[in-house]
Amino acid sequence: MAVQQAGTKKIKESAGDRIFLTTIYIVLYLVVIAVLYPLIYIISSSISSPAAVTSGRVWLWPVDISFEGFRVLFKTPEIMTGYANSIFYTTAGTIISVVLTIMIAYPLSRRSFFGRNALMMIITFTMIFSGGLIPTYMVVRELHLIDTRWALLIPNAIWVWQVIIARSFFQSSIPDELQEASEMDGCSDIRFIWSIVLPLSKPIMAVLVLMYAVGQWNAYFDALIYLKSADLFPLQLILRSIIIQNNSSGTMDALAMVERQQLAELLKYALIVVATLPVLVIYPFVQRYFVQGMLVGSVKG
């Protein structure tokens, strides 16, 4: 009985341990508040009345609930076109980027690939020194990609940092002995990649898909530079145009100007919700693979 009581006796924490844990909890609570409050504020502002938003009465919960901002957004025909374009750019761009990244990262992870270190140094060099906007624009123009969908898919198809992460993952998770064993069984390189490498690479593929998809969805600068036709604009460029148009007062009277300014302020929050919703919906489905792939690809490599 004495032994059992001794085994169940809790270890007494020192005053220093209690202070340390209390400090950690306070910091974590502050971080959670700092992350959640802007999200709650944006959502509350997007469904509040324009007058409540501009007067500063919204600070946490919605005031005078109104869906005027979303009604104006989805009543605009360009919004649906921009949504469709962004979905296409995100889907096609992510597929192209992931395929090309794996095609270059996997060979660089094999010790049998001659000159892999030199090629990796050249690729990494582009992270520090790039051609710049004007030379890149000239290349895109010479390739006749201006005002085409390919201008948003090809020039930035591969990100060096993603190549490094994928290469580290393949080095640590796909040993050379596995390839040698498959070759002894008569497995070709393409069959080995398709049947063995890709099924074992789901974590890093989830990382690549999420990173490329988020980057492609939020991108607007390339569209601003390379696209001229409004029917090719992604959602972000359409939303930018709507905000600029609502901020232009023109020759309106004072009352109409105030109403437009209130609507423009409301639109900003509605636009943020509309633009971030797809990413928030996708992330929970790949979050488990994302964390696993980041740890394996960046720590073990």
8 Å CB contact between 12 and 31: no
Q: What is the pLDDT of residue 25?
A: 92
Q: What is the pLDDT of residue 28?
A: 92
Encode 181-200: b = buried (16+ Cβ within 10 Å), e = exposed.
ebeeeebeeeebbeebbeee
Q: What is the pLDDT of residue 246?
A: 56
Sequence spans of domains, the chain = 2-46, 77-300
Tokens matching residue 272: 């943020």
Residue 18's Cβ-count burial label (10 Å; 0-12, 13-18, 19+) is: exposed
CATH H superfamily, domain 77-300: MetI-like (1.10.3720.10)
Sequence letter at residue 16? G
Secondary structure of residue 65 in the 3-state scheme: coil
DSSP 115: T
In 3D, which of 267, 285, 261 has the Cα closest to residue 75?
267
CA distance 213 to 88: 11
CA dihedral 166, 169, 173, 179 (to 10 degrees): 40
8 Å CB contact between 133 and 225: yes
Q: Which residue has 């930035």 as its token pair? A: 156
CA distance 44 to 38: 10
Q: What is the pLDDT of residue 292?
A: 59
Residue 144's region, left for phi above 0, alpha for psi from -120 to 50, else beta, is left
Q: What is the pLDDT of residue 250?
A: 47
Q: What is the pLDDT of residue 257?
A: 52
CA angle 286, 292, 298 (to 5 degrees): 120
Residue count of the chain: 301
- Give the Å distances, CA to CA, from 193 to 74, 92, 139, 207: 44, 22, 33, 18
Q: What is the pLDDT of residue 252?
A: 44
Sequence letter at residue 115? G
Sequence letter at residue 206? A
pLDDT, one tens digit for every residue, the chain (301 residues): 444 555 555 566 777 778 888 999 999 999 999 988 888 888 888 888 877 877 778 888 888 888 877 887 777 777 778 888 988 999 999 999 999 999 999 888 888 888 888 888 888 888 888 778 888 889 989 999 999 999 999 988 888 888 988 898 888 888 878 877 887 877 787 888 888 888 888 888 888 888 898 888 888 888 889 998 888 888 888 777 766 665 554 444 555 555 666 666 777 778 778 777 777 777 777 666 666 555 554 544 4
Q: What is the pLDDT of residue 282?
A: 74
Q: What is the pLDDT of residue 266?
A: 76
CA distance 224 to 77: 20
Tokens matching residue 219: 């991108």
